[in-house]
Structure formats: structure tokens, C-alpha cells
Amino acid sequence: MATTSEDSSKRHFHWTNKVGNEDDEVPSFKSSSNPKEEDKNENVKSHVAMPTPKKKLPAVAVARLRSVLAALGRNRSSLPLGLGSRVVGTLFGYRRGHVHFAFQRDPTSPPTFLIELATPISGLVREMASGLVRIALECDKEKEDQKKAVKLLEEPMWRTYCNGKKSGFATRKECGHKEWKVLKAVEPISMGAGVLPGCSAEAGADGELMYMRAKFERIVGSRDSEAFYMMNPDSNGAPELSIYLLRV
């Protein structure tokens, strides 16, 4: 019995040395003698290798997103609305006054583009009665060293040409109480022209305000060019009124 135990210990010692010489990962052979302990060690290693993700970071990100959306919702009413491919255009002015032109996204929204032309509205009415009217508004580009990120519809001053003839300058205006009163008065009108009762103290003895309202198709050529074509109800023929904005 002594000889047998001694031989078995020698064989075991020789096996471990042989394995140790061929492969340095001796603990892996020793741990295989106990399967339960091996499973336990593997579980520990897996927990160490793949730590559980922290739940605090996603919660912070969601909270920030909610705060940004809430701020946008509060300020949405004060942000200017952009124009789409089809807009509402309103031309108005007193008989002895200048032409005002407003573009709105829809009849209830404030105008995104409102200008006052030096052309008297009586002269523009005569031009439109004689045929097609093309109005070109031009402004200058900023120099490279003075270039600012100004949108085309936000340019303050324009040179005006009506059917190729120079017609003074046009200036961009903010929509005040008087302009908004006119737009609200013609809000139910989708397309048409007419006269509204005005204020004689402002308009002289006549006191009537002329208007024309229609839908326009908006074409954006580049950041320096846009065009607005009045849409005819019957969709036949060329548009009676076209307005071109150019930055040259």
C-alpha cells in the first residue's frame, strides 16, 4: 500500500510538472477538478468583465432633452415662421400712398416678409391692368470681410424695378398695428381684389385702402435668389404678377 500511494503521488507530481512545462496556465488544470468552483469563478469573471451600465447617465440625458423641448415650446410663439413652397401674398396701400407687400405662411400667421415700395399703388394698378407685371427687388452682397449670415428675406433695403423700369427703393418693415389690422381684415379672402374703408386722416380726402390677395408659388434658386409667382385660379397662362428677390 505504501508503494502504491508513493507511485500515485509520483505520477501526479510528474503530470503537473509536465503540464506546467508545456503550458504555463497551471491553475486552469487544477481548477477543473472542482466543476462547481469553476462555474463560480467563471461567474465572477463575467461580472468583472462586463460591468452593469449606470442608469444615471440616460436619466440625465432625458432630463436635459425634456428641458430643451419645454423651452422651445415656451418660445415657439415668438419664433418667426418660415415660408413654404406656397404662400399667401397681400398687396395693399392707400390710393395716394405707397405699395405694401406681405408674404405669409398662412392667412392667420404674421408676415415673414413685409416691404414698402416707393411705387404708388395707383401706378401699379395701371401696370397690372395693361398686362403682366414683373417686379424685381435687388440688394447688394456683403463683402467677404463683412459677410454676415443674413437671410435673403431679412435684407433691409432693395432697389426696385417694375417691368424693367427703375422704381426707386423698397424697405423692409416690421408688422405693426396698422399693417396687422389690414391683414386681419382680408384674412377670410383667399383670392381677390377690392377696397377697404380707411382712415381719412392718414390717407387724405380719399381714405380708401386698395388690396389684392392671392396665393403665390415660391421658388428658391439659391441663398441669393427667390421668386414668387402668383397662381391663377384656372391654372392657364402666365402669372399676372411675379416678384423676384436677388442679391447681386
Decide if 210 contacts 121 (C-beta within 8 A): yes
Other CB atoms within a 10 A radius of the CB of residue 228 amount to: 22
- Supply the DSSP symbol for 75: H
Quick one: pLDDT at residue 98? 93
Quick one: pLDDT at residue 8? 46
Quick one: pLDDT at residue 128? 86
Quick one: pLDDT at residue 75? 45
Decide if 229 contacts 242 (C-beta within 8 A): yes
Decide if 159 contacts 166 (C-beta within 8 A): yes
3-state secondary structure of 99: strand
Quick one: pLDDT at residue 235? 59
Strand positions, DSSP E, the chain: 86-94, 98-104, 113-120, 133-139, 157-162, 165-172, 192-197, 208-222, 225-230, 241-247
Quick one: pLDDT at residue 172? 96
Q: Which of 194, 136, 192 is nearest to 169 (CA)?
A: 136
Whole-model pTM: value is 0.64
Q: Which of 185, 230, 231 is nearest to 209 (CA)?
A: 185
Quick one: pLDDT at residue 148? 72
Contacts of 112 (CB under 8 A, 6+ apart): 80, 81, 82, 83, 103, 104, 105, 153
Decide if 132 contacts 238 (C-beta within 8 A): yes
Quick one: pLDDT at residue 39? 53
Q: Is 171 exposed, middle or buried (0-12, 13-18, 19+ CB in 10 A)?
A: middle
Other CB atoms within a 10 A radius of the CB of residue 151 amount to: 11
Grid cell of 205 as nine digits: 380726402
Quick one: pLDDT at residue 61? 66
Structural Rg of the chain based on CA atoms: 39
Other CB atoms within a 10 A radius of the CB of residue 153 amount to: 16
Quick one: pLDDT at residue 143? 74
3-state secondary structure of 100: strand
Q: Write out residues in the chain with pLDDT < 70, as ranges.
A: 1-58, 60-62, 64-65, 67-82, 144-147, 198-206, 234-237
C-alpha 19/C-alpha 4 separation (Å) is: 23
